[in-house]
């Protein structure tokens, strides 16, 4: 199994998104509802991370001071760091989901998504 290079910049994330879209086209899932909505979330997560990264890069320090009553100060990590980490974790899970969707449709592109009780119910299948 080939070792995947570490993504260094937000531009790399955008390149990764383009590669995922190419794989989806090859598998014939670019029009699949689950793929489209999951891919849209992934692109949004990339944009959020880009904005958070800009905020973090513009700051002189990734530490912030919060002043409490009576003038006491505490130092905290900049909130953008926490949000960037949370968003990148969510993006990693989202891309794993995208790859699973693509893998399920590899080959003829006509395979059905495995039956999910919630998806079946939403589709009108009351028996699950």
What digits encode the pLDDT tens for the residues 55-108? 888 877 888 888 888 888 888 898 999 999 999 999 999 989 988 988 887 754
**Which residue did the predictor score with more confidence, 9 or 72?**
72
Rounded CA gap, 46 and 57, in Å?
Answer: 16
Q: Is 80 exceeded by the pLDDT of residue 52? A: yes
Mean pLDDT of 35-63: 89
**Taking a C-beta distance cutoff of 8 angstroms, is the pair 105, 29 a contact?**
yes
Q: Is 80 exceeded by the pLDDT of residue 124? A: no
**Taking a C-beta distance cutoff of 8 angstroms, is the pair 113, 104 a contact?**
yes
Q: Where are the domains of the chain?
A: 10-107
Mean pLDDT of 116-122: 57
**Taking a C-beta distance cutoff of 8 angstroms, is the pair 81, 22 a contact?**
no
């Amino acid at each position: 199994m080939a070792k995947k290079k570490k993504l260094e910049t937000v531009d790399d994330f955008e390149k990764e998104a383009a590669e995922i879209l190419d794989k989806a086209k090859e598998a014939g899932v670019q029009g699949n509802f689950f793929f489209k909505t999951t891919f849209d979330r992934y692109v949004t997560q990339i944009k959020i991370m880009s904005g958070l990264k800009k905020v973090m890069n513009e700051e002189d320090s990734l530490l912030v001071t919060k002043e409490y009553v009576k003038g006491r100060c505490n130092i905290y990590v900049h909130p953008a760091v926490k949000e960037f980490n949370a968003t990148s974790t969510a993006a990693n899970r989202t891309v794993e989901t995208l790859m699973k969707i693509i893998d399920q449709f590899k080959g003829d592109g006509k395979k059905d998504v495995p039956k999910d009780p919630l998806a079946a119910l939403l589709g009108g299948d009351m028996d699950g």
